[in-house]
């Protein structure tokens, strides 16, 4: 099989497994609520007692909205959950005070908001968010907190769990008041915000809400440490433990060839690649195995049996032409 065929097969496999895993992994604990409105709530998260792994993973499903909205509870802030991902240990949220601002008129300052954010357990993704400031005559700072220590920062560090904004202006926007009375600052999911000059004059810009990505993990132990406590170890059968780059704690992931929720007992189930992927050539015979599969060719055919491999081709027949042997005896007759 050439590299092109191999890459094609791997790409098809990856796409199909991703689709299957997405539909299966969003599993709650048995007997627990699976959705809040249109948001899937997979374990270790949950909406009621006994349905989440710890209080930090409690989701408040507010049914006063139609459809209901999911919120991270116990934060003191209105953090709406837009998506929960088990694959990479991330939460997509929206904060009602996304944008910090510092506004002026001809008399001086008029309004100011630092947009304080805090979560005691989950950290702000350093790789999937961008600190953005807009405005003329604007200097914006983001002050970040990671655990008990704090520092002024110019980039998002690993493990940052809280922040607020500071703004400085040299001329109180006096030279740009006509089209830009405010300075704005916000953290936003990378790729979501696109600057427009109309944002400078939009006096309601501070009311906008932007999505933010949080990183979550189980506990505060490394994989090695967590495995020493089997009773509380969160990774179940057919899964592996992963130490995330974002900070303390660990994540679980189904082993290759399995799909589902690695935090649930028997949550990682074998993928039947023969049915889901149809990976074998039209003449090939697919054999599903625990965590994998293989293809064979029927009798009289040769090859690897794979759709994007050498497939199955008829074996060349062994032709042997036989010629009659004529024995001639030569002799002299007298």
Joined together, the tokens standing for residue 7 give: 């890459």
Per residue of the chain (334 residues), give pLDDT as tens: 444 544 445 444 444 444 444 445 569 999 999 999 999 999 999 999 999 999 999 999 999 999 999 999 766 678 999 999 999 999 999 998 899 999 999 999 999 999 988 888 899 999 999 999 999 999 998 887 765 443 344 467 888 888 999 999 999 999 999 999 999 999 999 999 999 999 999 989 999 999 999 999 999 999 999 999 999 999 999 999 999 988 899 999 999 999 999 999 999 999 999 998 899 998 899 999 988 999 999 999 999 999 899 999 999 875 445 445 555 555 544 4
DSSP 231-298: TT----TTEEEE--SSSSSBEEEEPTTEEE-TTSTT-EEE--HHHHT--B-TT-EEEEETTEEEEE--
- What pLDDT is attached to residue 24? 55
Q: Using CA atoms, how far apart are residues 65 and 307, in angstroms rounded to an integer?
A: 49
Whether omega before 67 lies within 30 degrees of 0, making that bond cis, reads: yes
Joined together, the tokens standing for residue 40 give: 């899937």
DSSP 61-92: EETTSSS-EEEE-SSSS-EEEEEEETTTTEEE
Task: Quickly tell me which residue has 């001329």 as its tokens.
Answer: 171
Q: Using CA atoms, how far apart are residues 36 and 280, in angstroms rounded to an integer?
A: 40
Strand order in the sheet with 79-85: 59-62, 69-72, 79-85, 90-95, 211-215, 123-124
Q: Using CA atoms, how far apart are residues 120 and 214, in angstroms rounded to an integer?
A: 12
Joined together, the tokens standing for residue 147 give: 């655990």
Joined together, the tokens standing for residue 109 give: 């300052």
- What pLDDT is attached to residue 3? 43
CB–CB of 251/241 below 8 Å? yes
Whether omega before 44 lies within 30 degrees of 0, making that bond cis, reads: yes
Beta bridge partners of 92: 83, 213
Q: Using CA atoms, how far apart are residues 33 and 204, in angstroms rounded to an integer?
A: 37
Structural domains in the chain, sorted by start: 94-215 (no CATH), 273-313 (2.10.25.10)
CB–CB of 84/148 below 8 Å? no
- What pLDDT is attached to residue 146? 64
Residue 116 burial (10 A CB sphere; 0-12, 13-18, 19+): middle
Hey, what's the torsion of the CAs at 41, 125, 226, 20, to 10 degrees? 40
Give the chain's length. 334
CA distances from 224 to 133, 246, 280 (A): 41, 17, 39
* 3-state DSSP assignment of residue 225: helix
Task: Quickly tell me which residue has 């974002």 as its tokens.
Answer: 246
Cα 166 to chain centroid distance, Å, stands at 31
């Amino acid at each position: 099989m050439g590299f092109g065929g191999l890459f094609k097969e791997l790409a098809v496999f990856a796409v199909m497994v991703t689709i299957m895993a997405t539909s299966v992994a969003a599993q709650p604990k048995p007997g627990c609520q699976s959705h809040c409105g249109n948001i899937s709530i997979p374990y270790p998260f949950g909406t009621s007692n006994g349905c989440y792994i710890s209080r930090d993973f409690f989701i408040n499903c507010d049914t006063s909205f139609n459809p209901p909205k999911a919120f991270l509870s116990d934060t003191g802030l209105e953090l709406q959950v837009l998506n929960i991902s088990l694959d990479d240990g991330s939460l997509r949220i929206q904060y009602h005070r996304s944008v910090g601002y510092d506004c002026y008129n001809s008399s001086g300052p008029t309004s100011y908001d630092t947009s304080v954010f805090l979560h005691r357990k989950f950290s702000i993704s350093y790789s999937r968010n961008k600190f953005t400031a807009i405005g003329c005559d604007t200097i914006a700072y983001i002050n970040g907190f990671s655990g008990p220590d704090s520092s002024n920062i110019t980039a998002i560090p690993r493990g940052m769990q809280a922040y607020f904004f500071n703004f400085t202006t040299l001329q109180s926007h006096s030279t740009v008041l006509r089209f830009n009375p405010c300075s704005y600052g916000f953290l936003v999911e990378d790729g979501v915000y696109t600057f427009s000059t109309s944002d400078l004059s939009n006096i309601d810009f501070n009311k906008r809400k932007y999505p933010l990505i949080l990183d979550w993990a189980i506990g505060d132990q490394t994989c090695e440490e967590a495995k020493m406590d089997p009773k509380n170890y969160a990774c179940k059968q057919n899964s592996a433990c992963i130490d995330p780059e974002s900070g303390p704690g660990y994540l679980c992931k189904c082993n290759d060839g399995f799909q589902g929720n690695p935090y649930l007992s028997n949550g990682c189930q074998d993928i039947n690649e023969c049915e889901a992927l149809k990976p074998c050539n039209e003449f090939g015979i697919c054999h599903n195995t625990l965590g994998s599969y293989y293809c064979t060719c029927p009798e009289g055919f040769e090859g690897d049996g794979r759709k994007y491999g050498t497939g199955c081709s008829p074996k060349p027949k062994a032709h042997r032409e036989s010629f009659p042997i004529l024995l001639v005896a030569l002799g002299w007759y007298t």
